[in-house]
Chains A and B, each alone.
Chain A
Amino acid sequence: MIHFVILNNRQGKVRLTKWYSTYSQKERSKVIRELTGIILSRGPKLCNFVEWRGLKVVYKRYAGLYFSMCIDQDDNELETLDIIHHYVEMLDRYFLNVCELDLIYNFHKAYYILDELLLAGELQESSRRTIARLVAAQDSLVETAREQASLLGDLVK
Chain B
Amino acid sequence: MASTTSSIMDTLFQRTLEDLIKGLRLQLIGESAFISKALDEIRREIKSTDPHTKSNALQKLSYLSSLHHLDMSWAAFHVVEVMSSSRFSHKKIGYHAASLSFSDSTPVLLLITNQLRKDLTNPNNEFEVSLALECLSRIATTDLCRDLTPEIFTLLSSTKIFVRKKAIALVLRVFEKYPDAVKVCFKRLVENLDSTDPHIVSAVVGVFCELTSNDPKSYLPLAPEFYRILVDSKNNWVLIKMLKIFAKLVLLEPRLAKRVVEPVCDHMRRTGAKSLMFECVRTVVSSLSDYEEAVKLAVVKIRELLLDDDPNLKYLGLNALSIVAPKHLWAVLENKEVVIKWLSDEDPNIKRESLRLVMAMVSENNVVEICRVLVNYALKSDPEFCNEILGSILSTCSRNLYEIVNDFDWYVSLLGEMSRILHCQQGDEIENQLIDICMRVRDVRPELVRVGRDLLIDPALLSNHFLYRILSAAAWVSGEYVEFSRNPFELIEALLQPRTNLLPPSIRAIYIQSAFKVLIFCLHSYLLQRESTTSSYPDTSALSELASKREMPEGSDSATFKAPSHSEQDEVFNPRVSNQSFEELSVGNGGDRTISHGQTSTPVTSENSFTYEAVVNHLNLIELALGPLTGSHDVEILERVRNLLCFIELIKGEVLECLVQKEENLNSAEMKSSKIIKLMSDAFSEELGPVSVSAQERVPIPEGLVLKENLNDLEMICGDIQLPSSISFSLVSNHYEEGVGASLPDLQSKEELEPPSEATSLLAEHRKRHGLYYLSSEKNDIVANDYPPANDPKLQDNQNNDTEDLVKLTEQLLVSKKRPNQAKPRPVVVKLDGDVVPVSANRPGPKDDLLSGAVQEVLLGSDTRTSTSRSNPSDKSSSKRKGKEKLITDPSSELNENLGDAEKLDHENPSSRRSKHRTHGKERRHKSPGKIREEREENGQKEKKKSSHRHARHKTRQRADVPLNVVSETPVIPDFLL
Contact residue among B93, B138, B279, B346 (Cβ-Cβ distance under 8 Å from A20): B138
In the bound complex, do residue B275 and residue A50 qualify as a contact, i.e. CB atoms below 8 Å apart?
Answer: no
Residues of A within 8 A of B348 (CB): 46
Interface pair A17/B67, CB less than 8 Å apart: yes
B137 touches A25 (CB 8 A): no
Count of A-B contacts judged by CB separation below 8 Å = 148
Find chain B residues with CB under 8 A from A119 CB. 133-134, 137, 166, 169-170
| Chain A residue nearest in CB terms to B56 | A149
CB <8 Å contact, B316 and A50: no
Whether A123 and B312, one on each chain, are in contact in the complex, defined by CB atoms closer than 8 angstroms, is: no
Q: Is A153 close to B, CB under 8 A?
A: yes
* CB closest chain-A residue, reference B275: A78
Known: A76-B279, A119-B133. 9 other contacts (CB 8 A): A16-B66, A17-B66, A28-B69, A43-B347, A49-B312, A107-B63, A107-B67, A130-B199, A137-B127
CA A125 to CA B201, docked complex, whole Å:
11
| Residues of B bordering A, CB below 8 Å | 8, 11-12, 17-18, 21, 25, 52, 59, 62-63, 66-67, 69, 71, 87-90, 92-93, 96, 103-104, 125, 127, 133-134, 137-138, 162, 165-166, 169-170, 172-173, 199, 202-203, 206-207, 210, 213, 235, 237, 240, 244, 247, 274-275, 278-279, 282, 311-312, 314-316, 346-350
Q: Is B275 a contact partner of A76 (Cβ separation < 8 A)?
A: yes
A148 to B86 Cα, complex, angstroms: 13
Contact-residue size bin, chain A (C-beta under 8 Å from the other chain): 35 or more
- Measured CB to CB, the nearest residue on chain A to B63 is A107
Question: Judging by beta carbons under 8 Å apart, are B89 and A120 in contact?
Answer: no
Residue A63 CB within 8 A of the other chain: no
Pick from A29, A76, A134, A141: contact of B240, CB under 8 Å: A76
Closest 7 CB pairs of A and B: A78-B275, A145-B89, A47-B311, A46-B347, A122-B206, A142-B89, A120-B137
With an 8 A cutoff between CB atoms, is A1 at the interface?
yes
Give the contacts of A99-152 with B (CB-CB under 8 A): 104-105, 107-108, 111-112, 115, 119-120, 122-127, 130, 134, 137-138, 141-142, 145-146, 148-149, 152
Partner of A43, one of B69, B90, B346: B346
Contacts of B170 in A (CB 8 A): 119-120
A146 near B89: Cβ-Cβ < 8 Å: yes
Residues of B within 8 A of A48 (CB): 311-312
Closest chain B residue, CB of each to CB of A81: B312
**A100 to B: closest C-beta gap in Å:** 11
Please tell me if the beta carbons of B347 and A47 are within 8 angstroms of each other in the complex: yes
CB nearest neighbor in A for B314 = A47
A residues at B contact (CB < 8 Å): 1, 14-17, 20, 22, 24-25, 28-29, 32, 43, 45-51, 72, 74-79, 81-82, 104-105, 107-108, 111-112, 115, 119-120, 122-127, 130, 134, 137-138, 141-142, 145-146, 148-149, 152-153, 156
Say whether B206 contacts A47, CB under 8 Å.
Answer: no
Tell me which residues across on chain A come within 8 A of B316, comparing CB atoms. 49, 77-78
Q: Are A79 and B237 in touch, CB under 8 angstroms? A: yes
Q: How far is the CA of A76 from the CA of B316 in the complex (A)?
A: 10
List, in ascending order, chain B residues with CB within 8 A of A153's CB.
11-12
Complex Cα–Cα for A120 and B207 (A):
10
Q: Is the interface of B mostly helix, strand, loop or mixed?
A: helix
Tell whether, in the assembled complex, residue B52 and residue A152 are in contact, meaning their CB atoms are under 8 Å apart.
yes
Give A107's nearest chain B residue, CB to CB: B63
With a cutoff of 8 Å between Cβ atoms, the chain A residues found around residue B314 in the complex are 47
B93 to A45, Cβ gap below 8 A? Answer: no
Q: In the complex the two chains form, what is the Cα distance from A14 to B24 in whole Å? A: 14
Residues of chain A with a CB closer than 8 A to B133's CB:
119
Complex contacts, A43 vs chain B, CB 8 Å = 346-347
The answer to whether A124 and B203 have CB atoms under 8 Å apart is yes
Nearest B residue (CB) for A28: B69
B206, closest chain A residue (CB): A122
**B213–A74 touching, CB < 8 Å:** yes
Query: Do A1 and B202 contact each other (CB < 8 Å), given the known contacts A45-B346, A47-B314, A145-B88?
Result: no
28 contacts between A and B (CB under 8 A): A14-B67, A16-B66, A17-B66, A17-B67, A28-B69, A45-B346, A45-B347, A46-B348, A47-B315, A47-B350, A48-B312, A49-B349, A76-B282, A77-B316, A79-B237, A81-B312, A119-B134, A119-B170, A120-B137, A122-B207, A130-B199, A141-B88, A141-B125, A146-B89, A149-B89, A152-B52, A153-B11, A156-B8
| Minimal Cβ-Cβ distance residue in B for A21 | B138
In the bound assembly, the distance between CA atoms of A1 and B176 in angstroms comes to 14
Interchain CA distance A156-B348 in the complex, whole Å: 64
Say whether A76 contacts B278, CB under 8 Å: yes
- Contacting pair A74 B206 (CB below 8 A): no
Choice from B88, B278, B346 contacting A78 with Cβ under 8 Å: B278
If A105-B18, A108-B93 touch, does A123 touch B206 (CB 8 Å cutoff)?
Answer: yes
A43, B346: Cα distance in complex, Å: 9
A29 touches B173 (CB 8 A): no
Q: Please, which residues of chain A bring their CB within 8 A of the CB of B347?
A: 43, 45-47
